[in-house]
Structure 1
């Protein structure tokens, strides 16, 4: 069901769209409030030197250990005490992802009804692609072309026939209806064999979304070179007129932009689903590193859209009037204006293309996240000595996810209840994943600096941000004791795992060098002969 050797191009599509959810759009679209230059530098430097190493390294580490997840690898390379705490951080992180993304997708389906048909029609296209590739054995290239054309035809159809759910549908509001449908779909995707839906859906979405990025970047180039009304960067490089209540750039920039620079969630995808589908180890660089590059390009496209898609600086400032403003809506609005100006596409169609991109990115991350959280529930069961099969584990995931999402009302307000902790938790998770990679490199007597340098920087900045948030959660009149308690748990768990990781690195340095797998095989063959 989960272990399916896969063509590297198909697997790259699955990996890229699984890691590139709404976060590489939301994060940069919010972070430009400090100015476009800090966001631009963190995305580019973070993608090349941090995210690429992290994603590629996590994929390699899992493949070298029979496809084990990062949680299971932590027990092997850091120790059982650290691993148990690691699982707590992973569980909270995955819960934040599936609950928050359900809310993000629901909001987009309601605000952009033209995206409804392409969003759900993509499932049918994915099922046919999986059937054509794995059962009928048709060539990949023509199947890809037909699949992408079908998806864009659905976008045109959706723009012509928007679907609006009435205020009361089957006794539910539109928000309640879409959230329940999303969790039911996510549960089904989690249980089906990976080649049936998850993998072909992510692949064909990845190609289609890459086409969308080409359109976005192309609209900027053609707008600059040929359009009568050339787009201008209306946002400041460094914003010195920050709204009241805006936190300091350091360290908050580095946790506001997580996906698109470096993200701990990627390590879960690399070791949770992608490693189990890798055909051969050499493909890990293409899938892991290029997947991170694809997400970095999405973040750059977002930055371009939200700094050049507004006509005047006053228009930009009217959107960024407080920290946290902007987000997906600013991306859709600004990107639509760029595509209309540069490519001549109608504004409504441009907005539909970008809104569909955002929904499909978020949906592919949500269904992968539910599958990964199922793995985590099963691993927790193993830790406490109980075997949990896939069906009960999936029920637990759905129950906890829906419970959190509806905890503050049937509109799904609870889905964002613990989301403020995502940035710091996600980055702490990334540093802990890098610590496992560093231990493995030290044990093999390879240079660990490509892992240790980003590990140190990310851990210090994310820990600093976590402490800052902890103080904010206790401010008089703004105290939030639930977030305070969860933040304390995450901080304690992360520090404990970090200490265990340092001790593991020291043991690895003193222990005899661990031979590479191929070297071990050669030795075994020689001994047998």
Structure 2
């Protein structure tokens, strides 16, 4: 019964955030203008800049930012107790993520669709731009390399997920062509979802596996190579051909998954067996502050969202007010996924008793995706009566497809960053889309195989840095938005407060990790962590200098007048 109360209170909070707070932010702070000509309209090239229906664009944005992170983070962080996890997800979604994501979309739209790193030059300064883009590239490198490994592992461990995962791409290509020919969106959506779930069912009878040793590489390594070849091709295709319909279908698939999970909670009303605040933690468990706020990133606030918002979504925004629908509602979708994940891994669906739950969650880091799939499948079985095996396949495919869409967008975003470097430094060779994609994919594969050997697992080497780096990036994005607002003589308190909170927590977490990496002798992570921390300090100092100068000039102008 406790789970129903968690769900109801969480949903009410997010709905209030959407109907009240997001409306206030959109109209009074960002002042989204329906008459403003967006980059999608101004630079419409049929490939990257494409004016898009806001519902379709929401599907792209939502599934691109979601990935597996809003499942992994909450499923791990519940170790400290379900109460702090729920509070951070709900309040983080309302006051942090929605403001951040909408603001990044608005800022990029006002700067001709530039990424948040590139546009920081005109807002703060050229040195800030160079520093900012280093952090962005590192985050993208982490996300792409790791999600390639995650999907490859899922294909090896659950061969039943291979067929539906690749068939989703075929379905998306067909829908993209039909939408281009003005077919109605709703019927196509319904048919696409039905076909997707038919392939999920068929996947149970068509397991696909690669040989354990092929070309001298393991199955995992070969899947990683195949996935990056696909991602390279996908990143060069026009967004309407694959990216938009694939993300939209996956977004609808997630809505079905959320309905199944939330409906199961109301139908079965399971009790919570996890502790509200865990007092039986392992001795080596780090402090909840600040680690909770970087463990749950996506689902509360995430710098990666700002990269997507200013990287691909802003180039498809047909009307500026759509930024509220796409950005804030996308954040709510992610928060909803994080909330139901907490319920799935905290209740009797996963562990019948508190003692059994503590056996599953004996250390921080236990549980994660496996706990979500097990708990979620049992929850659906109790609520809807669907077989556990089928429910498990649905949730496993959902995780794979989300990781895949994030990887698709991530490689495209890496290409954008490299091409922007070509524009910034006047290097014509980097402006070539194919070469930029080759460099992006090459960096990911170099990390995967250079650091991880023939297994291709090297992306995991720098993954521990993702939490703090990602949140530092979120705070820097909020900083750029705040400086924009100050220069436009608008209230910046609504972005400054989240910025300061996230920065303090992420910076503190980065220092803790820096010490851990040094004591473990992992000098690669020490080097990368130090770079991120130093860059964040330098960007802050640059921003404060710009704001101080702006206020001095404004005061002098008033005196002279």
Give the TM-score normalised by the residue count of structure 1: 0.93
User: Secondary structure, in 3 states, of the residue corresponding to 1:160?
Assistant: coil
Q: Per-residue deviation at 1:169?
A: 4.1
The 1-side partners of 2:523 and 2:216 are apart by 34
The yes-or-no answer on 1:138 pairing with 2:180 is no
The 1-side partners of 2:118 and 2:197 are apart by 40
What residue is the counterpart of 2:293 in the other structure? Answer: 254
The yes-or-no answer on 1:39 pairing with 2:75 is no
Which of 208, 223, 237 is 1:178 aligned to? 223
What residue is the counterpart of 1:65 in the other structure? Answer: 111
Deviations 1:101-128 (A, max 9, x none): 1111111122222211111100001001
The yes-or-no answer on 1:112 pairing with 2:158 is yes
What residue is the counterpart of 1:279 in the other structure? Answer: 318
The 1-side partners of 2:354 and 2:204 are apart by 30
The yes-or-no answer on 1:396 pairing with 2:396 is no
The 2-side partners of 1:328 and 1:140 are apart by 32
Which of 194, 200, 211 is 1:149 aligned to? 194
The yes-or-no answer on 1:385 pairing with 2:440 is no
The 2-side partners of 1:244 and 1:160 are apart by 45
The 2-side partners of 1:318 and 1:412 are apart by 31
Deviations 1:301-350 (A, max 9, x none): 11111111222223322222222121111111111111111111111101
In structure 2, relative to structure 1, the CA distance for the partners of 1:107 and 1:501 (3 Å cut) is same
What residue is the counterpart of 1:167 in the other structure? Answer: 212
What residue is the counterpart of 1:522 in the other structure? Answer: none
Which of 18, 28, 46 is 2:64 aligned to? 18
Which of 29, 43, 50 is 1:4 aligned to? 50
The 2-side partners of 1:15 and 1:4 are apart by 14
What residue is the counterpart of 1:268 in the other structure? Answer: 307
Give the TM-score normalised by the residue count of structure 2: 0.88
Is the 8 Å Cα contact of residues 172 and 249 (structure 2) preserved in structure 1? Answer: yes
Which of 528, 534, 539 is 1:486 aligned to? 528
Describe how 1:369-518 pairs up with structure 2 within 5 A. Answer: 369-387=410-428, 388=430, 389-406=432-449, 407-475=451-519, 478-510=520-552
Aligned residues: 504
The 1-side partners of 2:419 and 2:168 are apart by 30
The 2-side partners of 1:196 and 1:80 are apart by 35
The 2-side partners of 1:464 and 1:128 are apart by 48
Q: Per-residue deviation at 1:479?
A: 2.1
Is the 8 Å Cα contact of residues 443 and 511 (structure 1) preserved in structure 2? Answer: no
The 2-side partners of 1:318 and 1:409 are apart by 33
Please say which of residues 11-20 and 401-410 is displaced more in the overlay. Answer: 401-410
Is the 8 Å Cα contact of residues 80 and 277 (structure 2) preserved in structure 1? Answer: yes
The 2-side partners of 1:508 and 1:298 are apart by 41
Which of 342, 366, 384 is 1:303 aligned to? 342
User: Secondary structure, in 3 states, of the residue corresponding to 1:244?
Assistant: coil
Q: Per-residue deviation at 1:78?
A: 1.0
The 2-side partners of 1:82 and 1:484 are apart by 23
Deviations 1:501-524 (A, max 9, x none): 1222233445569xxxxxxxxxxx
Is the 8 Å Cα contact of residues 123 and 197 (structure 1) preserved in structure 2? Answer: yes
User: Secondary structure, in 3 states, of the residue corresponding to 1:473?
Assistant: helix
Deviations 1:42-95 (A, max 9, x none): 000000000000000000111111111101111111101111111111111110
What residue is the counterpart of 1:336 in the other structure? Answer: 377
User: Secondary structure, in 3 states, of the residue corresponding to 1:18?
Assistant: helix
The 2-side partners of 1:354 and 1:509 are apart by 52
Q: C-alpha root-mean-square deviation of aligned residues, in Å?
A: 1.3
Q: Per-residue deviation at 1:41?
A: 0.4
For structure 1, list consecutive stretches of 5 or more residues without a partner in the other structure.
225-230, 514-529
The 2-side partners of 1:23 and 1:265 are apart by 11
Which of 43, 56, 66 is 2:102 aligned to? 56
The 2-side partners of 1:380 and 1:500 are apart by 20
